[in-house]
Amino acid sequence: MIQRILLYILVFSSSCIAARAQVKKPALTPIDSSVRAADTTARKNVAEKKKPVPALPDSIYEVPGGIRIGIDISRFILKVFQPYRTDVSFAGDMRIKKDLYLAAELGFHSTSHSDSNYTYKGNGIFTTVGVDWNFLQKISNKERYMIYGGIRYGFAHLNYEAPSYTIYDSYWGDKLPGSFPKTSVNAHWVELILGLKAEVLKNFFLGWSIREKIKVSGPSKDLAFPPIVIPGFGSGTKGSQFDWQYTVSYCIPLGNIKVHVPRKAEPPKRR
């Protein structure tokens, strides 16, 4: 009796091992015919081979997720070159898939300029929303470096005015003073972006990007009085604008993102 029980246990366990071998082996390499011939375990389970093979499970692994929030320090450098501008811009992104990030920016701007011809005041806010796609092939799933391309839709609302101006005429000898009242306008544009981000300390990132902004609608130079600067876009008299960004950001870890990799279909067996 004891011998029979031991025999049943042996047969049951060997059949389990054979079933597991059938699941695992095809995913690695196709089984060679000579190896198959020597696989005595499989021979013992002819009845099981006739059963329908269950669908192979897909591979799932996790990559770090979270919301990355940063400030664009290039706007402070910009003030050295364009002292009439004051810009503050915040950038954020959130991983939604392995290589896809939802990205947005929010900022405000003010312009103040005065010379012998005119004075100008303007202020406004802007936002952009879009996605970034990471091209970098990672060595480890935990790696968070990025080389990316992105696209954004941008919107700005601004108010501006010329409290005073003077037009000089050398022939008539006239000085014609005047002013332009406060004007409110909206602008819309599209941005194409190339950039990189590096994790320099745990959860701290430095990144820069270059971007081409193409105005879709908004004030143009054909207006009698276009704005000098459109917040978030740049020059108020240009239809397109090249720009750059340098961000310092912190990633708030909010769990991991599951990456679902479908199992490749098994190649058909040779007969």
Contact residues toward other proteins (CB under 8 A) are: 74, 77-78, 80-84, 113, 115, 117-118, 120, 162, 165-172, 174, 176, 178, 180, 208, 210, 223-226, 228, 234-235, 237, 241-244, 246
Task: State in angstroms the smallest separation of the CB of 208 from other proteins.
Answer: 7
Distances from the Cα of 38 to the Cαs of 28, 42, 163, 180, in angstroms?
Answer: 18, 9, 94, 93
Nearer to other proteins, 85 or 95 (CB): 85
Q: Residue 41 or 86: which CB sits closer to other proteins?
A: 86
For 70, 164, 211, the CA distances from 54, given in Å and listed in that order, are 48, 80, 50
Minimum CB separation from other proteins for residue 144, in Å? 22
CA distance 56 to 270: 20
Q: Between residues 76 and 97, which has the closer beta carbon with respect to other proteins?
A: 76
Question: 175 phi and psi, to 5 degrees?
Answer: -115, 115
- 209: closest CA among 195, 197, 190, 199? 195
Closer to other proteins by Cβ: residue 212 or 266: 212
**Shortest CB 169 distance to other proteins, Å:** 5
Minimum distance from CB of 218 to other proteins (Å)?
Answer: 15
Q: Which is nearer to other proteins, 118 or 145 (CB)?
A: 118
Cβ-based nearer residue to other proteins, 66 or 227: 227
Cα atoms in the Cβ-side hemisphere of radius 13 Å centred on 49: 6
Question: For tokens 């935990």, what's the residue?
Answer: 142
Q: How far apart are CA 149 and CA 243, in angstroms?
A: 15
As to burial, measured by CB atoms within 10 angstroms (0-12 exposed, 13-18 middle, 19+ buried), residue 231 is buried
Please say whether the beta carbons of 262 and 223 come within 8 A.
no
Residue type, 117: N
3-state SS class at 25: helix
* Rounded CA separation 135/146 (Å): 7
Rounded distance, CA 239 to CA 113, Å?
Answer: 22
The residue (of 82 and 256) whose beta carbon lies closer to other proteins is: 82
- Residue 221: CB minimum distance to other proteins, A: 8
Cβ closest to other proteins, residue 19 vs residue 71: 71
Report in angstroms how near the CB of residue 67 gets to other proteins at its nearest.
27
Shortest Cβ 104–other proteins spacing (Å):
21
